């Protein structure tokens, strides 16, 4: 099942570093998964004024490890776009058309790009599925990715 769609300036780096090895502060996918798995999220202010976002557990890394294990069990698809601007706009089209489970936000997209977006969506849906280990060394760039998993995220 399609769990999440996102974009990135470097899609492979985004998946491998922010989603699979990151934390809920650096990854909206991880944050959405943690919430769906039943974890509370704590938000506090740093002295610099920025927000610190963590899984609200005495040892947040235990929750992060569970999120990482779930992500490691899924499959990834991606497509490279002509620019980050195109990728960012295209992701909203994909989210509208495919309705991934964890993408709650919906934004408008430029309907004048429909012919190009239809081609990109077709290419994304027909792209290869990769396990986490298979992503290393792949050609990357600005693009859109889709995360699939055979099981909906839960605490059990």
Q: Which residue has the higher pLDDT, 155 or 53?
A: 53
> How far is it, in rounded angstroms, from Cα 130 to Cα 12?
11
SS3 136: coil
> How far is it, in rounded angstroms, from Cα 156 to Cα 111?
41
Residue 7 has φ and ψ, to the nearest 5°, of -130, 170
Average pLDDT over the chain, rounded to whole? 94
- pTM summary value: 0.92
Element of type H or E holding 54? strand 51-55
For 41-85, write each residue's pLDDT tens digit.
999 898 898 888 999 999 999 999 999 999 999 999 999 999 999
In the block, which residue shows the tokens 């809920």?
24
């Amino acid at each position: 099942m399609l769990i999440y769609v996102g974009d990135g300036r470097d899609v492979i780096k985004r998946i491998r570093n922010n989603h699979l090895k990151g934390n809920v502060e650096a990854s909206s996918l991880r944050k959405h998964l943690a919430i769906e798995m039943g974890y509370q999220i704590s938000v506090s202010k740093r002295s610099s004024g920025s927000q610190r976002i963590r899984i609200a557990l005495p040892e947040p890394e235990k929750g992060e490890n569970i999120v990482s294990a779930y992500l490691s069990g899924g499959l990834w698809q991606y497509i490279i776009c002509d620019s980050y601007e195109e990728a960012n706009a295209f992701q909203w089209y994909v989210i509208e058309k495919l309705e991934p489970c964890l993408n709650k936000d919906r934004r408008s997209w430029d309907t004048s790009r429909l012919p190009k977006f239809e081609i990109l969506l077709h290419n994304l849906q027909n792209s290869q599925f990769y396990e986490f280990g298979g992503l290393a060394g792949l050609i990357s760039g600005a693009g859109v990715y889709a995360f699939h998993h055979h099981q909906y995220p839960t605490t059990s």
